[in-house]
Amino acid sequence: MTPQPLSGDMVWITWEIQQLRYNGGKNQSLLSYSLSVYRIVAVGALALLIWDIIITFPDEVHYIWPQSQRSPTKWVFLLTRYFGLLAQASKLTNVFTSASSSTRRLVSICLTVIDSQFSIEECRMIYATQVVCGGILMACIQAILMLRVYALYSQDRRIAVAMITLLVAEIGSMPGVIQLTMPTNTGNMCMKPITVRDIALFGVSAILPQLLVLGLTIVKFFSGLRDGWGAIPIVSRLVRDDIILVAVIVVWVVISAALTSINTMYGYIGYSYVRFRSFLSFSCRRSHYPTSLLSDFSTHFILRWWSQLVAIFNPVRGGPAQPNLLSAAARLIPASVDRDAEW
């Protein structure tokens, strides 16, 4: 007699894993395949993350380490860079340690996949941990974008208040989102079949802040084009890279939601690769400049707040390149100022 699926919300692969327990382990092929997928995802994400850190480490030493202890870009960079590394390394260690145990449970601080039932309390704790880990990294991304907008608007206090309010609201909404989308049953993989409400809640909280920041960037860019400074290469790169970053975030959210909605092992791929953040590689550079130039807005924007521009020059490879700052700024220096002055 063929066993019936446990729930109408569970897809075929989840139901088939359930049958492995009913059949006394006679068919281990699907379970072995599942474990292989988990290991490949974990190793791949960690390898890409380490590769990203290696190729950008000289820039980190040169541009990030010398910055003041009060520099916000320094701490956002370090948190984004090494929190993901620690989380993913912990996940990988637990994957290989637990996969060889008799229970074959794959447990990590940000990802847990099992082939046997967890209690509802354990599932909720696991789920909350996943959301918090992903939320921390997403908040770091948001902080980076906000610093860029703050620099673009020349340290406007109103923009600073708006950005801080938006970031606090994004972080503050996390407990409510967790509570509203908390799993109500364990299932094979400790996952809750995703609903339209879940997609809307996570989509709005993850995408809307980025879209708002991108909108502010584009508005200022077109304003700069009218005023004559918007065509500077660094400004156009800033807008281009913001568009690329937001596009990457939107695609990741959509793919993760789609994979999670079918409640299979593939729903966890997004949780692993959110910790791979090579598209967030950036560099900061302090420039030395004569104070007489600060009366000019464009020069003030290019030079004084260069350390806040955290530009993303290659979102895929992660290798930051430095634009020709002096050549761009030279076109903005008033004629009364010595263009050959030491920078």
Cα separation, 70 vs 67, whole angstroms: 8
Contact status, residue 8 vs residue 263, Cβ threshold 8 Å: no
Give the model's pLDDT for residue 80.
Answer: 80
pLDDT at 140: 80
pLDDT value of position 100: 45
pTM of the model: 0.61
The neighbour count for residue 107, using CB atoms within 10 Å, is 18
Inter-residue contact 146 to 160 (CB < 8 Å) = no
Supply the pLDDT for residue 45.
Answer: 74
pLDDT at residue 3, as a whole number? 47
The CA angle 200-203-207, to the nearest 5 degrees, is: 145
299, 270 Cβ separation under 8 angstroms: no
- Using alpha carbons, list the distances in angstroms from residue 135 to 80, 83, 170, 205, 207: 11, 12, 9, 10, 12
Per-residue confidence (pLDDT) for residue 88, from 0 to 100: 73
Tokens 């610093």 sit on residue: 147
Pairwise CA distance, residues 92 & 109, whole Å: 10
The pLDDT of residue 33: 61
pLDDT at 74: 82
pLDDT, tens only, 75-100: 888 888 888 788 777 666 554 444 44
Q: What is the pLDDT of residues 298-324, one digit of tens each?
A: 333 333 333 333 333 333 333 333 333
What the block records as the tokens of 259 is 């994979």
Tokens of 182: 């908390």
Domain range list for the chain: 15-95+117-285
Give, in words, the CATH class of 15-95+117-285. Answer: mainly alpha
**pLDDT at residue 8 in the model:** 39
Burial of 135 (0-12, 13-18, 19+ CB in 10 A): buried
- Under-70 pLDDT residues of the chain: 1-39, 41, 90-118, 183-199, 201-203, 256-343
User: What 8-state DSSP symbol labels residue 201?
Assistant: H
